[in-house]
Structure 1
């Protein structure tokens, strides 16, 4: 039985998700809405939200009211919306749907730990995250850049503000993120480059089908999915 899907967001990523979903047998995309209000929508197993930050609050309210699992891929929304912990549904938050980015976040945490150890040895360490996206992207830094910055800062036992974070909006770049630890003696860089938007569309569908298999309502991230994926491939 295919997983039934709904989709909030009909932009570039939403269109890619629709195209890939139509080509798969394990999912059934029942509806996709853009700026329309979330009402009178057919009941589905899970909804993917790749709309805009301001729309997430309404979509989350709708999902809780209807008991529909929700994957939030939009960025620029207030995380306090999930602070009460009383979800009642399965919610997965992913500023980036690439499992490769989830791996880069884990590596950023390790890099931060290395920076902390180096700092304790009396060597000055600089931390930085640089991200580049297409000129149409509104939020800056991107949600992915913030996630990488936070992982690096946690590992390094520093404040996020201590990580130099730079955003560029150039041409039609899909997504490029670099995490850097630098001293006078060496520079270590972890870089993730997305070559095709289908990377994120496929990841969104994987996240949606995975979320419906979780044993209980609650808040999940792509790190949780990546953990399962790494166990399966180990």
Structure 2
């Protein structure tokens, strides 16, 4: 079996260190390169591979290596566009993209192999396939709500995973999540409308990621919960995606559903 070369963006951060550690300890992968911001360059000293603060230089020294990026929307767009131009496949797990940024990400995917998922957990992505079936089975008599909990350092809200879950259950009702989501309720707002889907964001401590979808009916409720116990959950999914991306070509933005199919 051929080894998958990977480049880790933000390799000095928590997720970056987790990804790099998996690449080092799994014989299916080779840590080919690491990239960090100039102010964090010293954090790369621990790695025995190509390293630097200029991603173009690192990418050029690791031709064909799969780039894994969990940084920030603006940085990830730069990674996606440069990777497409230089011929490196890229796996992106960044959340918080705006609608125009998603369009730019999709455009980059037409130029080169690009994979994006707001949540790399295989469990969450399996849940995305199950929830629409539950919505259809229960029918319109249930109110749908979502609650997500994350650590106190998370920058975007609601989480990308909560929005993805919202998209799945809204689509099962023939709706778009942007048309029915309610992310804030305050004051005298009146009765809940049948179509709305509330999304509540809780922040605190070191919670890696909890997501619960509520089906609230008359006399009963169903709660479907996914809890990530560690960042390795997402890192393992990203590494699996990197291995899969070795044989993919550009044309469209690939997702976990493509890989799991």
TM-score bucket (shorter structure): 0.7 to 0.9
> Runs of at least 4 residues of structure 1 off by over 6 A?
none
| 1:230 match | none
| 1:135 match | 152
Tell me, yes or no, if the aligned pair for 1:114 and 1:156 is still in contact at 8 Å: no
Which residue, out of 125, 130, 140, partners 1:102? 125
Q: Which moved more, 1:216-225 or 1:52-61?
A: 216-225
Which residue, out of 193, 214, 234, partners 1:180? 214
Pair member with larger Rg: 2
C-alpha offsets along residues 102-146 of structure 1, whole Å, 9 cap, x if unaligned? Answer: 01111222233234xx22xxx3x2111111011111111111111
Give the unaligned 5+ runs of structure 1. 228-234
Please, what TM-score do these two structures have when normalized by structure 1? 0.88
Following superposition, the deviation at residue 215 of structure 1 comes to 6.1
Please, what TM-score do these two structures have when normalized by structure 2? 0.79
Tell me, yes or no, if the aligned pair for 1:91 and 1:220 is still in contact at 8 Å: yes
| 2:199 match | 165
Equivalents in 2 of 1:214, 1:57: separation in Å?
20
Following superposition, the deviation at residue 150 of structure 1 comes to 0.4
Equivalents in 1 of 2:109, 2:208: separation in Å?
35
Give the unaligned 5+ runs of structure 2. 38-52, 182-195
C-alpha offsets along residues 167-207 of structure 1, whole Å, 9 cap, x if unaligned? Answer: 11111111111111111132122111011211111111101
